[in-house]
Structure 1
Amino acid sequence: MSDQTAPSPQAQNALQTGIVQLRDVTEAIRVRIRNPAKLRNLELFLLVIAWVLAGGAMVLVQLGALQRVDLFPLQLAAGLGVLTLALHIVLRIVAREADAIILPVATVLNGLGIAMIYRIDIADGLSGWDAASMRQIAWTGIALLVAIAAIVVVRNHRVLARYRYVAMAIAFILLLLPLMPGIGRTVNGATVWIGVGPLSFQPGELAKIALAIFFAGYLMTARDSLSVVGRKVLGVRFPRLRDLGPILVVWAMCMLVLVFQRDLGTSVLYFGLFLVMIYIATGRRSWMVIGVGLVAVGGVAAYFSLGYVQRRVHAWIHAFDPAVYEAQGGSFQIVQGVFGMGHGGLLGTGLGLGRPDITPYANSDYIIPSLGEELGLTGIVAILGLYLILVSRGVRIGFQGPDDFTKLLGVGLAFVIGLQVFIVVGGVTRLIPLTGLTTPFLAAGGSSLLANWLIVALLLRLSDSVRGRGIV
């Protein structure tokens, strides 16, 4: 009887398999429960390191430039530390599985930028609220509050896909605002600012976020027609003529920005964003070929028809030519920045001990050479490493997204930061012609800070939605 009632080998194997699977599921649930706390604890630990680095940079600037410690700027910086802590606490409550690396990296970059802007203020004899560093601290506080609000309000980022055409309309309005009489302002030849009383703002910084949302939503719905249909030429499948509409519209928009707002960097940034996102959506090399061709055509046309583009190209190629160096709008700024980075050498002069202030716009367009002079090549490599970490986390979040919209939006937002850093660093090191873009989180500018902290908030929200997919 016992032999007849004993389970068969197949039943025993099935039972053992079921036990193993149940144990694996239990372990997964246990890890899932523990994982959010570990992520947030790691984030808090890294935040403490970011606070120490940023605060230490402020103290070293004061000791190097003033030979004393002024507590007032440190107290204001500590207030920003409290706001980043508040953002961390909000993540513990409403986005417990958000990425743990992004917030500390953005915090240390922002802190280093404030320290360097403060250092240049000291050299220029500026203090109080007339100093750019004080305004930068105030804008950072506003940007952090906006980031906290965005994380609390946007509980499900996929809702943004429903408003893709609203985002498109907002982007076009933001781009047109600087051209409106009465509020538009021209600074250094570029009409990219709006001003109301003493306040000024660059709406194009927020337009890049609206465009990323629109591109992600549009490409999510049009992906099949853009990726499958078309005719092959030399092994490369090109899209139908009627499917070229979106890329031609975006190209035309970027050319209008280049011509009427005289902003080379922003037009390159917008078109590069769309080009990368359409390639991610379709995987077709033909879009890249068409995009590069349109950039070449637009670049050549701009060079021969726009004088300021010619001047920038000449300043890039012939930077050390005395005639170009001494010309109005020539290469003086470029050469001063190169000499400053050369003066810094490998390890730099030390914070507060260099002369970055003799380069025009050292706290905004040329903050990378300013940091390079006082932190050296080692410091610049470390800063670029932080940007690389930030961008790679965003790209990873995008590719691990469960749907096309998450993938496209995550990669698009991360690419905006990466491309902007490349354009800025490439310009100041003479790799490419100089443009007027700001370095994310580092350069002086409230609109840039607001836009980039909003990108951080959206990436944190996206990362929380792809929990359980290996993001640490």
Structure 2
Amino acid sequence: MTAPVTAGAAGAAPAEDPRLSFTQSIVLTIKQPARLRNLELLLLALATIINAGAIALVQLGALGEIDTTVLGFGAGLAGLALVMHIALRFVARDADPFILPIITTLNGLGIAMIYRIDIARGYEGWDGLGLRQMMWMALAMVLALIVLLVVRNHRALARYRYIAMAVGIALLLLPFVPGLGTVINGARLWISVAGFTFQPGEIAKIALAVFFAGYLVTARDSLSMVGTRVLGVQLPRARDLGPILIIWVASLGVLIFQRDLGTSLLYFGLFVVMIYISTGRLSWVLLGLGLFLGGAAIASRTLTYVEGRFAAWLDSFNPEVYDAIGGSYQLVQGMFGMANGGLIGTGLGQGRPDLTPLAESDYIIASLGEELGLVGIFAVLGLYLLLVARGFRIGFNGPDDFGRLLAVGLSFVIVLQVFIVIGGVTRVIPLTGLTTPFLAAGGSSLVANWIIAALLLRLSDTVRHQPRLVVDD
């Protein structure tokens, strides 16, 4: 009986034949990471070309000439991406080769569009948001690299699940600290330090995902096997309802006190999905949907802020709603912009995305839709789809329950944000205040999403690094 070790990695396992010798299997296992990193390098080069081309087209379309200064900053960011790629060759040799190129491309397209809106509004140099976004991207990449260097084994995070919960709650409460919290656009989500604003709730979602994964691993049996069956649906025990009720109350607290519908939906949706993945019980999803819909119905009737969002969604073209403070003006302008783009868009630098309020943040999808058209939006959605698919694949192939839950949870954070933002912009659901991951202007969101990408890279390295024993009887 022989027991050769094969490469065993999902999606790229060349040594599946149990008749291979031990030496052959080891050689193939050693060669596999090199192929992954070489593929990543090739895709990074393609991402750099796309991003440089987007900035050049913006300049030609809006200015009629190319400014090499901005392209120089872009080259610096490409150099940082290369540094991160080199670091992966040493600290995460088996990491997924698609994640880094995808987020680099998305980030670059976002910077190109923010820079284009700066040009339309007459900003130059460091007065515009485009170069600031480049600075945030550089900081986010450095922090992501630090996460990769510090978190060498994701299982260590499970030991700190309750610390992660405390950190997450503390971050949510920071905007209420007198002298630290600040109100922007009617929402109390930011803190201001030395003239810089930051949204701590973006980091809180990562801490809460770590806590949810750690808690659900330990409480899975009681949540999945114990309960009372009512009308064919197994309902959990009252004491097991505690965590979901706490998260429901916390989500409503974010909605009521911080006036943020999108973040409230994000936190609650994250927990419901992770508890469903952990237990496999549909009753948790039905219960979660019931609690959310009930809370949304009450909020739409009692909170002026939420009532206005629903009115702008359901009756956007009503002149009274359109002209009201916080009405549907922004929503309608964004829809007109996307309609102006048509199938193939007006071309980078040749539209008028600046006519839509907050076109560089909340409505960057509408801005891209106007200048890149429906084809461009589908390409962006395709990148998000591939990114989330890789994340789910990492989770489903994970070697341990905590890693599986954490990978699925972090991936779901991205996909839910994309759905909430694009659904609001296209009037599928009420508009919320979330940002589009990696695309929209905003340093806190960019830092948080790059950290999520770093954790997914670490998890994917763990998945592929686990050898699989094949026994030949």
Measured after TM superposition, the shift of residue 21 of structure 1 is 4.4
The equivalent residue for 2:406 is 409
Query: What secondary structure sits across from 1:23 in the alignment?
Result: coil
Query: What secondary structure sits across from 2:464 in the alignment?
Result: coil
Measured after TM superposition, the shift of residue 25 of structure 1 is 4.1
The equivalent residue for 1:102 is 99
Matches within 5 A, 1:73-472: 73-467=70-464
Aligned 8 A contact 1:32 1:468 in 2: no
Name the CA distance, whole Å, in 2 between partners of 1:334 and 1:101: 34
Aligned 8 A contact 1:400 1:469 in 2: no
Name the CA distance, whole Å, in 2 between partners of 1:170 and 1:129: 34
The amino acid across from 2:268 in the alignment is: F
TM-score by length of 2: 0.94
Measured after TM superposition, the shift of residue 323 of structure 1 is 1.1
The amino acid across from 1:128 in the alignment is: G
Name the CA distance, whole Å, in 1 between partners of 2:177 and 2:126: 29
Name the CA distance, whole Å, in 1 between partners of 2:378 and 2:18: 47
TM-score by length of 1: 0.95
Name the CA distance, whole Å, in 2 between partners of 1:448 and 1:187: 15
Taking only aligned residues, the RMSD between alpha carbons, in angstroms, comes to 1.4
Q: Which has the higher contact order (CA 8 A, sep 6+)?
A: 2
Cα distance per residue 1:92-134 (max 9 Å; x no partner):
0010000000000000000000000000000000012111011
Cα distance per residue 1:225-260 (max 9 Å; x no partner):
100111112222111111000000000100000000
Q: Name structure 2 gaps, 5 residues minimum.
A: 5-16, 468-473
Name the CA distance, whole Å, in 1 between partners of 2:420 and 2:19: 52
Which has the greater radius of gyration? 1
Name the CA distance, whole Å, in 1 between partners of 2:352 and 2:129: 17
Name the CA distance, whole Å, in 2 between partners of 1:451 and 1:468: 26
The amino acid across from 2:85 in the alignment is: H
Query: What secondary structure sits across from 1:339 in the alignment?
Result: helix
Which has the larger displacement, 102-111 or 295-304?
295-304
Identity of aligned residues (%): 63
The amino acid across from 2:406 in the alignment is: L
Cα distance per residue 1:29-56 (max 9 Å; x no partner):
2221110000000000000000000010
Name the CA distance, whole Å, in 2 between partners of 1:123 and 1:458: 37
Partner residue of 1:47 out of 44, 47, 50 = 44
Name the CA distance, whole Å, in 2 between partners of 1:227 and 1:21: 37
Query: What secondary structure sits across from 1:466 in the alignment?
Result: helix
The equivalent residue for 2:13 is none
Name the CA distance, whole Å, in 1 between partners of 2:18 and 2:77: 48
Aligned 8 A contact 2:403 2:459 in 1: yes
The equivalent residue for 2:9 is none
Name the CA distance, whole Å, in 2 between partners of 1:206 and 1:195: 15
The equivalent residue for 2:54 is 57
Number of matched residues? 454
The amino acid across from 1:81 in the alignment is: A
